[in-house]
């Protein structure tokens, strides 16, 4: 079976599940894993949770293990373009035909009726067991306590920045959100720079030993010269590497993470003489960080492409982003959860007085921008938008990553 056939068959299996179903319990996945011999216990694991920055921290730690010649598995979510991006062995994406074998096996005995994310998580555990990984670096999904990844017994748990997102499921205060996310810390924890209330909540509620990033690690992070990764995320990765070396003797080189690149996060692409800045920022903290980076590097944004999901505070995000540009382009996303473009247009015209143009697709929007006189274009609001942009004419016309 070729990759296209495997891709179609895997999609058929996964589409029989509900990708948006949510049932906050670990009973189903624990029962299923016990039935198949608990593959998650066959390797050491590191959990990375938080609100923003999880993916980049996972990528940095995975690279550090790879450079130290460990066999490392990486599991992230969501994907930008193709689902198999979520599964990597030593930095390489796992082919669809390999994933299909695991999906068929799980489907054949899925009497627990695993949710979409639980199904994928079990696939990752089986894959990492069969490939004999030494360590798996796992990105926690939405929450923490009841996230499918939280069935492992991690040697280290990392909390990145915590801010407001998914409040309908995680709570409407930073304390509630922190309590949920901090439940991944079981043996040893490392925590990023965060608001005082987050730090206090973790100190008061977590029994395990926890280390917190201080200014010395932020200073070390500055010295590595990263462009599209938050210094706070680099700092927490550096602290995690130090702890892993001290407690477990892994011998990881902190300088190895300088080679990391995490797509869709302040990714700058040059195409037809234009700069496209792509960022999946979809909550207040991420948007503020994005605006800070734009100012830091002196970009003058000629047009803003914005699309988002109904579950996000898109009005609040747009209010901030309009300070970057009042020339807004609104494409229609393929996702059924996307906000209708004309709803965004009505909000902008009524409340912000912006210049607005609506497009039927991301592809049509990109084509229009490539034929325009704009020099710098910002695309943000959702990773779905970034993924569609990278998959269409932008990536066909683009000349690769650009570093100022």
183 and 274 housed in the same domain: no
Question: Is the residue at 403 inside a domain?
Answer: no
Flag whether pLDDT at 283 surpasses 80: yes
Find the CATH number of the domain harbouring 298.
3.90.190.20
Do 25 and 163 belong together in one domain? yes
DSSP code per residue over 182-217: GGG-SSEEEE-S--HHHHHHHHHH--SEEEE--HHH
Looking up tokens 């360590």 gives: 135
More confident residue, 108 or 383: 108
| Residues 172 and 255 occupy one common structural domain | yes
Please check whether residue 304 lies inside any domain of the structure.
yes
| Beta-carbon-side half-sphere exposure of residue 241 (alpha carbons within 13 Å) | 28
Q: What does the alpha-carbon distance between residue 385 and residue 389 come to, in Å, rounded to a whole number?
A: 6
pLDDT given for residue 331 in this prediction: 96
Q: Do 159 and 202 form a contact (C-beta atoms < 8 A)?
A: yes
Are both 158 and 298 inside the same structural domain? no
Mean pLDDT, rounded, for 193-212: 95
| Shared-domain flag, residues 240 and 294 | no
pLDDT over 70 (residue 41): yes
Residues 6+ apart with CB under 8 A from 350: none
- 251 and 325 together in one domain: no
Do 272 and 250 lie in a common domain?
no
Of 259, 283, 303, which one is at a domain's C-terminal end? 259
Q: Is residue 404 part of a domain?
A: no
- Dihedral of CA atoms 71, 77, 82, 86 in degrees, nearest 10, equals 10
> Which pTM value belongs to this model?
0.85
Helix axis angle, 196-205 to 174-181, nearest 10°: 50
Which run of H or E residues covers position 388?
helix 383-391
pLDDT at residue 169 is higher than 90: no
Domain boundaries, position 148: 3-259
With contact defined as beta carbons under 8 Å apart, do 156 and 243 qualify? yes
357 and 303 share a domain? yes
CA–CA distance, 31 with 229 (Å, rounded to integer): 38
User: What would the pLDDT profile of 110-166 be if each residue is shown by its tens digit?
Assistant: 998 999 999 999 999 999 999 999 999 999 997 788 999 999 999 999 999 998 765
Residue 332 has pLDDT above 70, yes or no: yes
Residue 278 and residue 254 share a domain: no
In 3D space, the residue among 253, 213, 256, 251 whose CA is nearest the CA of residue 231 turns out to be: 213
**Residue 402 within any structural domain of the chain:** no
pLDDT score, position 397:
47
Considering the domain boundaries, does residue 392 fall inside one? Answer: yes
Of 259, 293, 308, at which residue does a domain stop? 259
Same domain, 237 and 302: no
User: How many structural domains comprise the chain?
Assistant: 2
Same domain, 301 and 322: yes
| Mean pLDDT on 195-219 | 95
pLDDT reading at 399 higher than 60: no
41 within domain boundaries: yes
Could you tell me if 241 and 298 lie in one domain? Answer: no
- At 52-74, the pLDDT tens digits run 889 999 999 999 999 999 999 99
């Amino acid at each position: 079976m070729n990759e296209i056939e495997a891709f179609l068959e895997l999609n058929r299996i996964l589409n029989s599940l509900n990708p948006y179903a949510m049932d906050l319990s670990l009973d189903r996945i624990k029962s299923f894993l016990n039935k198949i011999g608990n593959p998650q216990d066959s390797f050491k694991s590191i959990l990375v949770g938080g609100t923003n920055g999880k993916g980049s921290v996972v990528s940095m730690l995975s690279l550090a293990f790879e450079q130290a010649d460990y066999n490392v598995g990486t599991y992230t979510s969501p994907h930008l373009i193709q689902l198999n991006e979520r599964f990597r062995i030593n930095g390489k994406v796992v082919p669809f035909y390999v994933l299909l074998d695991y999906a068929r096996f799980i489907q054949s005995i899925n009497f627990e009726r695993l949710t979409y994310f639980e199904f994928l998580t079990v696939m990752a555990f089986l894959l990492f067991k069969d490939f004999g990984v030494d360590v798996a670096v796992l990105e926690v999904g939405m929450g923490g306590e009841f996230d499918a990844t939280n069935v492992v017994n991690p040697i280290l748990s990392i909390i990145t920045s915590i801010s407001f997102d998914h409040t309908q499921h995680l709570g409407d205060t930073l304390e509630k959100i922190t309590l949920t996310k901090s439940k991944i810390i079981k043996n040893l924890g490392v925590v990023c720079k965060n608001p005082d209330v987050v730090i206090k909540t973790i100190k008061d509620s977590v029994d395990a030993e926890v280390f917190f990033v201080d200014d010395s690690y932020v200073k070390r992070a500055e010295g590595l010269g990263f462009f599209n990764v938050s210094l706070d995320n680099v700092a927490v990765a550096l602290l995690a590497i130090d702890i892993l070396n001290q407690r477990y003797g892994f011998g990881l080189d902190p300088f190895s993470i300088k080679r990391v690149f995490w797509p869709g996060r302040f990714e700058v692409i040059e195409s037809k003489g234009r700069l496209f800045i792509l960022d999946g920022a979809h909550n207040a903290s991420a948007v503020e960080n994005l605006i800070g980076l734009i100012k830091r590097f002196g970009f003058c944004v000629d047009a803003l492409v914005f699309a988002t999901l109904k579950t996000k505070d898109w009005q609040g995000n747009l209010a901030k982003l309009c300070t970057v540009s009042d020339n807004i382009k609104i494409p229609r996303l393929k996702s059924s959860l996307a906000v209708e473009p004309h709803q965004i247009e009505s909000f902008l015209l009524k409340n912000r007085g912006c210049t607005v143009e609506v497009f039927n697709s991301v592809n049509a929007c990109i084509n229009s921008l490539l034929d325009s006189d704009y020099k710098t274009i910002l695309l943000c609001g959702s990773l779905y938008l970034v993924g569609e942009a990278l998959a269409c004419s932008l990536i066909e016309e683009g000349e690769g990553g650009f570093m100022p």
